[in-house]
Each structure stands twice: as C-alpha cells, then as structure tokens.
Structure 1
C-alpha cells in the first residue's frame, strides 16, 4: 500500500508540473502568434525554437521516468527486490521510520591517531620580520661580547696579580715565621696581628690608616714584638719610612709636650709624603704609650682621623702600652679553669679578645679618644714553660751550654701567681731573663 501511494503521489506531481509547463509554453506561443501580426523579428523565432526544444527534451525525460516508475512498481509487486525504494520523485531525506536492522553491519575500522602538527611561529602582519631566522646565523654583536668578556677577565687577573705583588713586597709570610719563632706564648696575638697587616696591605686604596693597639702586663713581649716589626719593615721599605718613638726618650719633659707634638707632626708628614712618592706604606711604632702626653695624643688623633689627603690614609700606626693590664691579669686568673687544656693558642686568644675588648675599650676611651680609632689586641700572661723558652733562647744567644736543669733552676727563681687549673703564670713574664743570664 505504501508503494502504491508513493507512486500515485509522484505521478500526480509529474502531471502538475507538465500542466504548468504546457501553460507557459502556450502563453509564450500565443504571444509569439499575436506578435506575428506585427512586423516579424528574428529574436521571437529564436525564443520559439528554444521553447520547442525544451518541450521535446521534457517529453523525452517524462517518458523515461514513467517507464522507470512502472518497472519499479512491477518489481515491488513481484517482490523481486527486497528493500528497494518505491519512491520515484525526489523528497527531503529524514531518519524517520528507518530501522537500523535493515542496514548491513559494517566491520569497525580502527581510527588512526592524528599526529599533532607543530604550530608554526606566526609573526604580525605589520612587523618587519616575516620569516623564522636561521639558527646557524649569529649576530656580530656576539663576537663583540666575547671580546669584552676577555678584556675584563685580563684586567681582573692583572689586578689580582698586582695585589699579590704588593703583598709579597712586604714578605708577610717571613714576618709571621719570625714572630712565631721569637715571641713566646703569644701565638694567637701573632696570628691576629698578621691578619690585620694582610688585610690592610692587600689593597692600594684605603679609607683610613691601620691603627693597632697592643696591650698586656709587663714582660709579656710587647717591646720585643715592636722591635721585630721595626726590623722587618726596615729591611722592606727602608729606614726612612720606619719610626720607633719612645716617649721617655724623645720627650722626657712634660713642659716640652707642645713642641714635641709639633715636631712629631712635621716628622710624620714628611715620612708619609716620601712614602707616597715611593709608593710604599710607612710604619710608626709608639712604645710605652701610657706615658704619652695629652698634646701628643691629640696630634696623633688628628693624623689618624684626618681624611684630607690620601698619603695620610696609607700608613700603619702601632701603639704598645700596659694600659688595662689589670683587667687582662684578673680575667686570665679567674677564667683559666674554664679554658680547656685541649684548646689551641689561637682559640684561647679569640676568647680573650672577645671577652676583654669591650672592657678595655671602655677604659682606654676614658684615657683618650685616640683608642676609639684603634683595633685592640691584648697579650695574655706567660706560663712557666714560656719563661723556660725565653731562658733557652737567651742562653743560646749568649753562647752558654743549654743545660735543662740549669734552665729549670733559673725559671724557678722568678715569682709566679698561684697555680690555677694546672697553669702557673709568671708575674713579671720574661722581663728578668736577660738580667739573670748576664749573672751566669
């Protein structure tokens, strides 16, 4: 029934279309016939021929479609084709009324994985660069950068070499060996002093002179340390750039303190100017600084704190005094039991500096403001073993046979503090050693 209804509807549509086309052809023919009464024109004959040809083609197509429709209807009635469509006219295709079972099952085809294409680098349309630059091409500025890096490296290397040459000129390694060998019981202080010298002499430009103040009780090696430093620097920079100033010798009268201060100021100015010309650093050693008058201390404070010219900044000032010796003695006697026997000399000295520096600075600043500009370096008490080393050195220097029993006898004649934590500290250090050896 569905096939018959579809065939009748398709034939009805064909007949309607034919009737409309016949009417259009008749109307065109009537117009042409009416137009024939007038003057004949070649365009009217051409349009008439075109209409006739269209009608002939349409009639031929009509016959073919009728034959196809009759054949399909007959085949459907006979059941010759299963599932063949009974419609002969075009119709809008929809999925309504379709049964999935009528379609043959197709084997599932595995889908290929789509490869991700790399996104191309896109440049703006209005930009000057429309193509990707090649990796092999390098800018000429790269070579200039390499050249600049090489030049900077050479300059830094030369500067480091020049600084090393400047430090080697003063032979600080030889100075350290000499101080370790000649100064007994003060290995930590020697390390601290050499550290200050290396840190100061390793550069050319300074914002202040190096000022070191060494303090300690009598006989611990302050003056001996100053003599060793003066002898070493004389061999390096010359006698003209080293000054050893003994207040009791150069200015014994207090009434002459003002004139002594002027003479000292002019002498230091001449030395620093000469050192600047020779590109060297002078050394000024002031022994027995506890006896220096206020006028001399004021002049030294002006020279140390002055920043008027570069030559006054390139100088080393060393002050030797027993100021604050009572604090050092009291601290070592009271804290010897808390100091470990296994601690090294440098470790004991670091503890001594850490604990005594605030007390010493407070005491010294009350004495004069000059010590506010100085780095403090305390020297500790000498033990009995250190005194025996002093006797051995002096006996050997004088040419006597170094008898150990004789050295012990001489060391026992010196006065000591009460034994604290197994340590026996000398009250006078090595000050009496030379006198006792001269009596042999």
Structure 2
C-alpha cells in the first residue's frame, strides 16, 4: 500500500505544468515521510492495511486514468490532492484512537504480557477524566497560563471632566500671616532708624560744615559718612573713634567747634565734652589726677546718656599734647569690652600729628592733581595714600590710634584763604571788597608754587588777626 502511494506521488511530481501544485506535493511528501516512518510500527500494520486499502480504491482508478492520459489535467491533480488530505486526516484519527487505547489499558489495570485489543474504540470525552489517568497528568507538565495585563483605561477625549481640585490648606494662611508680621517688623525697624537719624539732624550738620569749612570737602564727607553709619542705630559693639590730622591752620579746631555746637543743640550741653589738654591739664605732674578725673567725667556722661537713650560726643583738641596717662585711660575706655553705655559714644581726636607727611605728600604730588578733579576724588586719593603712613607713625606713639579711623586734612590753597577772609569780614560787618581781600590774602606766607597750586604755610590761622586790624 505504501509503495503504491509513493509511486503515485512520484507520478504527480513529474507534472511540471503547475509550479505551485508541485511545490505543495513535495512539501507534503517530506512531511508524510517523517511522520509515517516514526508512527507506522508493527502494531498498526493490520489497521493501516485494511483502512488505507478502502480509502485508496477510488484513488487507484484515478491514477490509472492519469497514466493512460498523456498530459495530466488540473481536475486529476485536484482529486489526488484531496485524496492525500483525506489520508492525512484518517491518519490523525487513527493516532488519536491509539492514544485512547493506551489510556484505557492503563486505567483498567491490564496485566503485562496480555494481548492488546485490536478493535478500535470510539473516541469520546465522557470516559476521559483527570482521575482516570493520574499517571499521565502527573507526567505531562502543566503549562502556566499567562496573566493578562490589565488594560489602562483612559478617559474619553470628548468628555470635559475637570481634574479634582486639591483641598485648601490652612497652613497657607499662616504663611501669609507670617509674611505680614515680618514686613511690619522690617518697616518699623526702618522707621525707627530714620527717627534715630533725624534726632541728630545730620542734614543740618552737613549744610553747616559745607558752608563753614573751606578746602576740606573730602574730609567733611568722610566724617559725615562715619557719623551716619554709627548714628543709624542705637545698639553698637564698640564706640566710634575718629582722628583728624593736618597741619596748623587747616580748620581742625574750627571743625571741632562746629560739631560741638551742633550736638549741644541736639542732645544737650551735658552730653558734649570739649577737652583742651593745655587748658584742663597743662602740667605733666598732674597727668595721673587728670586721667582719673577725665575717666569719672566720661562715666557720668555715658550713664546719663544711657538713661536718656542718646549718644554723647567727646572732642579732644590738641591731642598731640596729651600725656600718656590720659591716653592710657582713654584706650581702656575705648578698647575694653565694658557695659553697653560705654559702647554708645563718639570720640573725636584733633591733632597735627603726622603733618610733615601730609605737607610733603601734597607738595610732591601737586603736579599730578588736576584742577578738574573734584574735592571728593582728591581727598579719597589722599586718604588712600596717606592712611598707611599715618597709621604706622601714630601706632608708634600710642596704641590708642589702633582703634581709630584716620582722616587726613590737606593744605589750603590761596583761594581757600580768600574765602576765609570773606567769611570773617562778613561776620565782623566789613564790606567784602574783593581788592581788600586779595591784599590781605597776599600778606599770608605760602609754599613755593608747584603745578599751578599755591599752598598756605599757616592756612587760615592769621585771618582773624588781620581782619581785626582793619
């Protein structure tokens, strides 16, 4: 039977007219060779011979017709293909019956060596239950079912669902309240600073110094800057110490008198001290006693100022004549970490210490000073170049100047001296004649002219005396 089947397939492969049909038969022949060689053993020979003889009787007639006909037609090829398909289906059905027979023998407990049943058994699902063949179910591995992932459902785009609104937090209102409190505190602090500065009327002091002091606008601006920074608040970590240095007649004592008069009008006479060393302590032997008296006076003034919540002013003129005992006592008051009342105070020292350095510097650098430069720029350059030299000189004299801010005062030119004469003549009631002013200014001694600048040797020191002779 199998030989006839092979011979039939070889005849079908010889047909070259239809390419697609030959490829289909060749693939099926290879498949059937592999399956039937493995599956058709001795047990199934009888069944296969009986059943395939019946199936191929009709097919044989078709094959003989195809041999007789010189060219096979498309109808004969389709009938043979259908026959092959039926053979394949029949083979699958016999394979299923064989598996059913094996399972039935295992379930009935057939003794080994007994003749096997040769009659086919009808395949039904009723007799096959998992309990009937436990050995098979245990030997066959169960395939795990795949978990179906849940589909992510998105809302329809056509819908107008609004996102959920978060619940309002109460902490937001607390935050707003905190911002309001901080704003009020800062605003109140700024207002208090303005009130504290307005108490000392620094704007009025600035107008007075610019009007009354000649040729020292840069030094005036530097002094006012220190006062504004210090008086803007009442709480400090150290007192303000400023030391003004310059040659004779440049306006140091005049500047001290203007400051004393302004602060007396603001804080009162009891909180302003003008200390002239040659007047209060002329003898060196009295220096220890003078130092103790000065310390007691300063302590009383700072305690009174603390009660009134004001800042006192101490002006020490002619500081170059101060004795070491007085300087030591002042250094202890300035540098030591005492109570709060000693930290809220202003110390102003006026002296001509280091005047030689200032004079030499201005005479040697007058040619580089341009007339177009403002007074502020000229003074800033003077401070930048002279401060290290003056501080080195003053620290050798006493350690008090290590705690001080040094401001040098420059030499006065002839134009500044003429302004001094004009102001003094106006005060004394004289007519400010320009010819008289030039004549009086010409009687003053001057340094040799350098770079178009003519500096006075004595500044405005002789102005009052010459005006009184008119």
Using the size of structure 2 for normalisation, the TM-score is 0.69
Is the partner of 1:231 in helix, strand or coil?
Answer: helix
Q: 1:20 to 1:361 in 2, by over 3 A?
A: closer
Q: Distance in 2 between matches of 1:184 and 1:118?
A: 86
Match of residue 330, structure 1, among 347, 357, 360? 360
Is 1:4 aligned with 2:34?
no
Q: Distance in 2 between matches of 1:176 and 1:219?
A: 21
Q: What whole-Å deviation, never above 9, does each CA across 1:62-108 have from its counterpart, x for those lacking one?
A: xxxxxxxxxxxxxxxxxxxxxxxxxxxxxxxxxxxxxxxxxxxxxxx
* Counterpart for residue 310 of structure 1: 340
Verify the 8 A CA contact 1:282 1:315 in the aligned structure 2: yes
In the TM superposition, what is the alpha-carbon distance from 1:2 to its structure 2 partner? 3.3
Q: 1:255 to 1:136 in 2, by over 3 A?
A: same
In the TM superposition, what is the alpha-carbon distance from 1:186 to its structure 2 partner? 0.4
Q: Distance in 2 between matches of 1:22 and 1:425?
A: 137
Q: Distance in 2 between matches of 1:287 and 1:299?
A: 16
In the TM superposition, what is the alpha-carbon distance from 1:306 to its structure 2 partner? 1.6
Match of residue 247, structure 2, among 217, 232, 244? 217
In the TM superposition, what is the alpha-carbon distance from 1:404 to its structure 2 partner? 0.6
Is 1:170 aligned with 2:200?
yes
Bigger shift: residues 411-420 or 200-209: 200-209
Is 1:277 aligned with 2:307?
yes
| Structure of larger gyration radius | 2
Is the partner of 2:350 in helix, strand or coil?
Answer: strand
Is the partner of 1:220 in helix, strand or coil?
Answer: coil
Q: 1:156 to 1:134 in 2, by over 3 A?
A: farther
Q: Distance in 1 between matches of 2:245 and 2:350?
A: 6
Verify the 8 A CA contact 1:290 1:321 in the aligned structure 2: yes
* Counterpart for residue 173 of structure 2: 143
Alignment of 1:179-258 (within 5 A): 179-258=209-288
Give the unaligned 5+ runs of structure 1.
24-50, 55-115, 120-131
Is the partner of 1:144 in helix, strand or coil?
Answer: helix
Aligned residues: 340
Is the partner of 1:139 in helix, strand or coil?
Answer: coil
Q: Distance in 2 between matches of 1:421 and 1:251?
A: 43
Alignment of 1:10-409 (within 5 A): 10-12=85-87, 134-409=164-439
Q: What whole-Å deviation, never above 9, does each CA across 1:202-261 have from its counterpart, x for those lacking one?
A: 122211100000000000000000000000000000000000000011111111100000
Q: Distance in 2 between matches of 1:223 and 1:437?
A: 19
Q: Distance in 2 between matches of 1:164 and 1:238?
A: 20
Verify the 8 A CA contact 1:188 1:345 in the aligned structure 2: yes
In the TM superposition, what is the alpha-carbon distance from 1:341 to its structure 2 partner? 1.4
Bigger shift: residues 360-369 or 12-21: 12-21
Q: 1:13 to 1:393 in 2, by over 3 A?
A: closer
Verify the 8 A CA contact 1:306 1:312 in the aligned structure 2: no
* Counterpart for residue 44 of structure 1: none
In the TM superposition, what is the alpha-carbon distance from 1:9 to its structure 2 partner? 2.6
Q: 1:380 to 1:6 in 2, by over 3 A?
A: same
Q: Distance in 2 between matches of 1:206 and 1:364?
A: 26
Q: What whole-Å deviation, never above 9, does each CA across 1:395-432 have from its counterpart, x for those lacking one?
A: 01001111110110000000000111111100000000
Verify the 8 A CA contact 1:327 1:360 in the aligned structure 2: yes
Is the partner of 2:167 in helix, strand or coil?
Answer: coil
Q: Distance in 2 between matches of 1:210 and 1:384?
A: 34
Q: What whole-Å deviation, never above 9, does each CA across 1:119-158 have from its counterpart, x for those lacking one?
A: 9xxxxxxxxxxxx983453211111111101110110110
Q: 1:409 to 1:3 in 2, by over 3 A?
A: same
In the TM superposition, what is the alpha-carbon distance from 1:20 to its structure 2 partner? 9.7
Q: 1:199 to 1:20 in 2, by over 3 A?
A: closer
Is the partner of 1:143 in helix, strand or coil?
Answer: helix
Q: 1:21 to 1:422 in 2, by over 3 A?
A: closer
* Counterpart for residue 62 of structure 1: none
Q: What whole-Å deviation, never above 9, does each CA across 1:171-216 have from its counterpart, x for those lacking one?
A: 0011011000000000000000000000111122211100000000
Q: What whole-Å deviation, never above 9, does each CA across 1:283-306 have from its counterpart, x for those lacking one?
A: 000000000000000000000002
Q: 1:136 to 1:169 in 2, by over 3 A?
A: same
Is the partner of 1:320 in helix, strand or coil?
Answer: strand
Using the size of structure 1 for normalisation, the TM-score is 0.73
